[in-house]
Amino acid sequence: MTEALGLWRIAAEEPERRAVADPDGREVTYGELAALSNRYANGLSALGLQAGGGIAVALPNSIEFLALYAAAMQTGLYFTPINWHLVGPEIAYIVNDSEASVFIAHERFADVAQAAAKEIEMPADRFFAIGDIPGFRSIDELLAGQPDTPPSDRTSGAPMQYTSGTTGRPKGVRRQLSGMDPDEAAGLSSLFFSLFGIKAHDDNVHFCGSPLYHTAPLVFGATSISLGHLVVLMEKWDPEEMLRLIERYRVTHSHMVPTQFHRLLALPDEAKSKYDLSSLRTMIHAAAPCPVEIKQRMLEWWGPVIVEYYAATEGGGTLVMPEQWLQKPGTVGTPWPTSQIKIFDDDGKELPPNEPGTVYMQMGGAKFEYFKDEEKTRKARREDFFTVGDIGYLDDDGYLFLCDRKSDMIISGGVNIYPAEIEGVFLTHPKVGDVAVFGIPHPDWGEEIKAVIEPGAGIDASDELTAELFAFAREKLAKFKLPRSIDYTDEMPRDPNGKLYKRKLRDPYWEGRERAI
């Protein structure tokens, strides 16, 4: 077995090693993935793209997605993956703002891709389709005649993801290109995975059930490729199908979000006990606060394999292993060896332990900027630290506890209330499938607490259910944290990665009025 690191070196030494199994049932080896990546890279170079340029893609989880990412990473290009749930003008904004020179879309997203193309400032011959999209060139034209050997003048590229845009339009997080040799850069990825105890090769299998257009799924998937792991892709996450794939491929590690834990726990006992999960070693989660009871139940089911970290597209972060978490339930851990965490109040004063404030991070000497937005870049920084607007505190031992996003915090009668805590309580009720808590206008208090609940499977919304949920919440929450009212929805507005679009629920209540935060 080879000990080489990086897609291309592994492909040279062990070309028949399995690299990717995609949702269509296709599998490719390291040799095949590297060859496809090389052909894409040579095709992009033939179009005139040079280091510092960029491409944007709207693609499903697939072999092609990972091959195009690898192509950008060896030609010095910025790679911008786009959430294909956006509408045409939103996609066009990101493509234009990123200054990409090529836009590649899958035929599954033909309608939004065509709508976007009308507003994208790019020559018509720079639109490519995997499959058939009228007005787009076939991806086969990009590949035609291109060799499957590495391109000349190889240099490392970088991902350029866009923030979710909870306030205003999304902004691209852009870092300076390193100028490193792509093979050397790929090898450095082992340092990141070592934080979680994940080793190169070692018969590891990574499961990716979230869209690769998100930062973490792409980082974890691409890093697994660099370390010689098999990457198993799922397109639309389903809890029982995940269990089936874990058993089939002997999955060892994955990156998850708390919403997926909740939906796994909601499976019937028969489904939960049906599959062999003994291969699991490191199931990593992040992206949102995880209710303590939900995580405790997952640890009881899967054992001490659940690792949590806190970071963002901009950088990170903290880490907590399962043994540490059980000693300090609810923590997201202590800083990475290369990171620091500080808590500041709104006046810029650093706060002592156990006092909530805005969480600021520093990740070694890593720097980033919000592309074309110096003001946002400046506002996100204090000293050499940056924030993404989360509220939290450090305990006496330096463990970070998150409260909520500052933009989601409710201020009622001058008291700060954190919806994540309230949501966590409701999620432990067996009749609740999903929940969102937020502030709505109140003439005296400024804001009052509203809960919107998606009932669990087979449960009907009713006055009786409302009374039951209020009685349940009163036993677990202080009176000032109790919602004043509960509404119901058939389906919560979440993306496939579990991110809740809370503004879609909250904004109608605030129409014509301005929130304090």
Characterize the bridge pairing of strands 173-174 and 334-335. Answer: unpaired
Cβ neighbors of 352 (< 8 A, separation 6 or more) are none
CB neighbours (10 Å) of residue 355? 11
Pair 482, 470: CB distance under 8 Å: yes
157: nearest Cα among 139, 193, 126, 181: 181
Instruction: Choose between 127 and 500: higher pLDDT.
Output: 127
Reduced to 3 states, what is the DSSP secondary structure of residue 319?
A: strand
- Answer yes or no: is pLDDT of 429 > 80: yes
Give the range of the structural domain holding residue 149, as residue numbers without chain letter: 20-161
Task: Tell me, yes or no, whether 265 and 398 share the same domain.
Answer: yes
> Per the structure block, which two tokens stand in for 257?
């979000």
Say if residue 168's pLDDT is above 70.
no
- Rounded Cα–Cα distance for residues 404 and 395 (Å): 16
What single letter denotes the amino acid at residue 381?
Answer: R
Residue 401's nearest CA partner among 323, 336, 334 is 334
Q: Copy the structure tokens of residue 470.
A: 């209020």
Tokens of residue 442, six digits: 């109140």
Nearest-CA neighbor of 208 among 229, 234, 230?
234
Higher pLDDT, 220 or 191: 220
CATH number at residue 397: 3.40.50.12780
pLDDT band at 382 (very low <50, low <70, confident <90, very high): confident
Q: What is the pTM of this model?
A: 0.83
What H or E segment, with its residue span, contains residue 37? helix 30-46
Q: Is residue 486 part of a domain?
A: yes
Phi and psi of 129, rounded to 5°?
-125, 135
Residue 450 CB coordination number (10 Å): 21
Among 135-149, 202-216, 279-293, the least confident range: 279-293
Contacts of 353 (CB under 8 A, 6+ apart): 393, 394, 395, 396
**Beta strands in 127-216, from DSSP E residues, in sequence order:** 127-130, 137-138, 158-159, 173-174, 205-208
CA distances from 171 to 270, 305, 425, 435 (A): 45, 35, 33, 28
The pLDDT of residue 166 is above 50: no
CA dihedral sign, ordered 488, 490, 495, 496: positive
| Higher per-residue confidence, 168 vs 367 | 367
Mean pLDDT along residues 462-466: 95
Q: Does residue 384 sit in the same domain as residue 245?
A: yes
Q: Which of 161, 188, 215 is the last residue of a domain?
A: 161
CA distance linking residue 330 with residue 421, whole number of Å: 11
- Please give the pLDDT value at position 372: 77
Cα angle 196, 198, 204 (rounded to 5 degrees) comes to: 145
Total count of domains within the chain: 3
State the number of CA atoms in the 13 A half-sphere of 32 facing the CB. 12
Segment holding 411, helix H or strand E:
strand 410-412
The answer as to whether 1 is a domain residue is no
| 385 plus 430 within the same structural domain | no
Strand partners, 127: 103
In this structure, are residues 431 and 190 in contact, taking their beta carbons and an 8 Å threshold?
Answer: no
Note whether 154 and 286 are same-domain residues. no
497: CATH: 3.30.300.30
Q: How far apart are CA 495 and CA 326, in angstroms?
A: 30
Q: What phi, psi does 438 have (nearest 5°)?
A: -155, 170
Domain membership flag for residue 61: yes
Question: Do 175 and 199 meet the contact criterion of CB atoms below 8 Å apart?
Answer: no
pLDDT tens string 22-80: 998 899 999 999 999 999 999 999 999 999 999 999 999 999 999 999 999 999 999 99
Question: Does residue 317 fall inside a structural domain?
Answer: yes
Q: What whole-number distance in Å separates Cα of residue 399 and Cα of residue 389? A: 18
Residues 394, 268 within the same domain: yes
* Distance of alpha carbon 215 from alpha carbon 220, whole angstroms: 9
Tell me the pairing of strands 27-29 and 102-106. unpaired
Are residue 148 and residue 66 in the same domain, yes or no? yes
Q: Is 229 exposed, middle or buried (0-12, 13-18, 19+ CB in 10 A)?
A: buried
Whether residues 371 and 485 share a domain: the answer is: no
Q: Which of 145, 161, 177 is the last residue of a domain?
A: 161
Q: Please determine, for residue 515, whether its predicted confidence score (pLDDT) is greater than 80.
A: no
**166 within a domain of the structure (yes/no):** no
Backbone φ and ψ of 359, nearest 5°: -85, 125
Measured in degrees and rounded to the nearest 5, phi and psi for residue 448 equal -125, 160
Residue 332 has pLDDT above 80, yes or no: yes
Q: Give dist(CA 2, CA 10) in Å, integer.
A: 7
Q: Are residues 402 and 423 in the same domain?
A: no
**Rounded mean pLDDT, 364-390:** 77
Where does the pLDDT of residue 21 fall: very low under 50, low under 70, confident under 90, or very high at 90 and above?
A: very high
Residue 516 predicted with pLDDT over 70: no
Same domain, 283 and 393: yes
Same domain, 472 and 368: no
The burial of 218, by beta-carbon neighbours within 10 Å (0-12 exposed, 13-18 middle, 19 or more buried), is given as buried
**Dist CA 228 CA 179 (whole Å):** 23
Residue ranges in 250-371 assigned as alpha helix (H): 258-265, 269-272, 292-302, 322-327
Task: Note the pLDDT tens digit of each residue in 197-243.
Answer: 999 988 999 999 999 998 889 999 999 999 999 999 998 899 999 99
pLDDT tens per residue across span 287-315: 677 888 999 999 999 999 999 999 877 77
Tell whether 228 is covered by a domain. Answer: no
Torsion of CA 143, 146, 150, 154, to 10 degrees: -80
Average pLDDT over residues 324-346: 93
pLDDT tens profile 245-277: 999 999 999 999 888 998 899 999 999 999 999
Which among 153, 152, 158 has a CA at the least distance from the CA of 177? Answer: 158
Q: Residue 36 belongs to a domain with what CATH number?
A: 3.40.50.980
